[in-house]
Homo-oligomer: A and B are copies of this chain.
Amino acid sequence: MPRPDEFSLISRLFAPLAANHAGALGLKDDCALFPGPDGEDWAVTADAMVAGVHFLPDDPPELIARKLLRVNLSDLAAMGASPRFVLMTCAFPKGVDDGWLDRYAAGLKTDCAEFSIALIGGDTVSTPGPLTLSLTALGAVPRQSALLRSNARSGHQIWVSGTIGDGAFGLLAAQGRQGLEPEHHSFLDDRYHLPQPRIGLGPALRGIAGACMDISDGLVADLGHICRASGVGAEIEAAALPLSAATRAAIAAGWGWGIETALAGGDDYELLFTAAPEMAERIVQIGQHLSLNLTPIGRIIGGSGVRVLGENGHELSLARGGYNHFDPGPAR
C-alpha cells in the first residue's frame, strides 16, 4: 500500500482507538510512551516487514533479521530511548529450511548482543504467502524527556546525523546497478542492508534537541511530518546535505534522480532533529564524542511545508515527495 494511503488509513481508522491514552501520541510519533519504574517511561514501537516489499527475498537471512531489529531500534533512538527488549512474530513460508532459520537466528543473536537487548516473546506461525515479520521494541527513557516530533519551533536549526541518501542508492546497488568503484558499491549495499540505529545519539539529544525522528520515508517527507506535528514550516539547503563519497559517486554516475534521490529516498535511518541555535556547540561536541557526523542543513520557519533551496537560493521543485519501496529511481 503506498505510504499516503497508510497515513490516511491510520488516522481515519486506528487513531481514534488511541485517543484515550495520551502516551499514544495519536499514533503520529516514532513510539508510544507508557509508565515504567523509577521515574522512567517505556517507549514502544512495532514495525512489519514483508519479503518482496521491504526486503529482497534472497537477501541474506542474517541481514533480514538485523534490519528488522535495527529499524525498530532506530524508532527508539528517535524518541531518545535506550533499547531493552523486543518481541518478534514470524510467519515463515512452508519451504523455509533449517539452514535459513539458523542464519536468521544467528543474525538476531549478533544484534541482541550488539545492542544489549533481550528477546522476550513472540510467535512463530506458517504462511502460504511470503515471509512476514513483525517486531515490537521496548526502550527506556526518563519521564517527560522523550523527544517528540511536535517540538520543532520557528528559529530552530535542522540537523541530520551521518550521511543522507545512502539507503536509496544502496537499494540500487543491492539490485545490481553497476558502474561504481567496488568500495563505493559495497558501502552503499551495506548501508541499505544494515542500517545503523543511532542509539547513542538519541539519548544524548534529550534536553538539547527540540523535535526528533528517524529518516525512514525520506528526508523531505519526514521533515514534513515534523512540520505538521509542530505547526511550522522548514527550509533546507540542498548544498548542505551531508553526502557520502559513495553517494556522490552514484550521483555522478547518473544513478537515480541525482540529489533528489538523496532528498526523497528512504531507508537512511539517520536522525533528523531540530534545536535552538544556542545548542549548536553542544551538538557538535556530542557528534565528536560519538564520532558521528552531525550537520545543520536548514532552519524551522513559520508557516507550513518544506522548501528545498538550491545553490542559487531558489526553491527546488521536487517531482517526488516521498519514497516508494523498491522505486528509488529509474533503473538506468
State the A residues within 8 Å of B (CB).
Answer: 1, 6, 9-10, 13-14, 16-21, 23-24, 27, 31-32, 34-37, 42, 44-50, 52-54, 84-85, 87-92, 94, 101-102, 104-105, 108-109, 112, 118-130, 132, 134, 136, 138
Contacts and interface: CB of A to CB of B under 8 A. Distances in A.
Given A16-B109, A136-B87, A121 B34 contact: no
B92 A27 contact: no
A46 B118 contact: no
14 contacts: A6-B125, A14-B88, A23-B120, A24-B120, A32-B87, A36-B36, A42-B42, A46-B136, A48-B91, A52-B128, A53-B126, A128-B129, A128-B130, A129-B129
Contacts of A18: 118-120
A85 B138 CA distance: 13
Contact of A126 (B1, B89, B125): B1
A130 to B, nearest CB: 5
Contacts of A19: 118
A250 B124 CA distance: 32
A17 B121 CA distance: 10
Nearest to A131: B129
A18 B88 CA distance: 12
A263 B264 CA distance: 57
A255 to B, nearest CB: 26
A180 B52 CA distance: 46
Contacts of A127: 50, 53, 129-130, 132
B85 A34 contact: yes
Contacts of A45: 87, 121
A135 to B, nearest CB: 9
B34 A84 contact: yes
A225 to B, nearest CB: 15
A217 to B, nearest CB: 13
B14 A119 contact: yes
The 3 closest A-B pairs by CB, nearest first: A129-B129, A21-B118, A13-B105
Contact of A130 (B31, B35, B101, B129): B129
Contacts of A129: 50, 127-130, 132
A89 B46 contact: yes
Given A48-B89, A85-B34, A94-B1, A124 B23 contact: no
Contacts of A122: 14, 27, 46
